[in-house]
Amino acid sequence: MDGYHVALVIHLFTLVAAGSVSAIVHLAESRGSRAATIGEALPWHRISGSAARFFPIIIVLLFASGSYMVTAGGGWSWGTGWIDAGIVACVLLLGVGAFIGTRARRGAFAMKERASQPGGASAAPSHDPLISTLSWSNTGLAMSVVVVMTIKPELIDALGTLVAGMAIGIAYSVSRARGGAVSGEAAAG
């Protein structure tokens, strides 16, 4: 097997890893947001935070393996639209991911502080809807990258696909939040 095919295998494995980590993070976010107490929410925050630490590594490996394939003679160049869109997506994924991580760590720290006070662990946890929305936006972006890498469109179409993927992720997050609010109201009533 030559270097190109090794890079391709690494590239595909990073996609599988990203999907797996995303599933863990989304499950933990969902369970944490449904927790009735801080004591119930904190373990889910820890799981989410531990899994999310792999995202920067995955994105760097994805970019490195893709870069190798471009330079190794896959028949494409750095000026190709879908490749440029992939670079934009990597930057967005890293940037938004860093923002999510920073905000989530602050929220978890505040919950830990509150839990350490008398009776604090039984208090209701706070939930940051922006973290959930951005997380689903990143998932939509990542899935749209798979579409772009598969169909290899020109730059404007590739960027449009990325925007559409992010919009779908945001719409999904908003619909989940509204569905949860309606379910919660029904249960309370």
For the chain, the domains span 3-188
Long-range interactions of 147-152: CB distance < 8 A, separation 24+? 148/82, 148/85, 148/86, 148/89, 149/82, 149/86, 151/82, 152/80, 152/82
Q: Reply yes or no on whether the pLDDT at 185 is more than 60.
A: no
Average the pLDDT over 9-38 and give the result.
91
- Mean pLDDT (the chain) is 89
Question: In this predicted structure, what is the pLDDT of residue 179?
Answer: 78
Q: Reply yes or no on whether the pLDDT at 73 is more than 80.
A: no
Question: In this predicted structure, what is the pLDDT of residue 180?
Answer: 60
pTM value?
0.85
Question: In this predicted structure, what is the pLDDT of residue 145?
Answer: 94
At 109, is the pLDDT very low, low, confident or very high (cuts 50, 70, 90)? confident
Quickly tell me which residue has 């107490």 as its tokens: 37
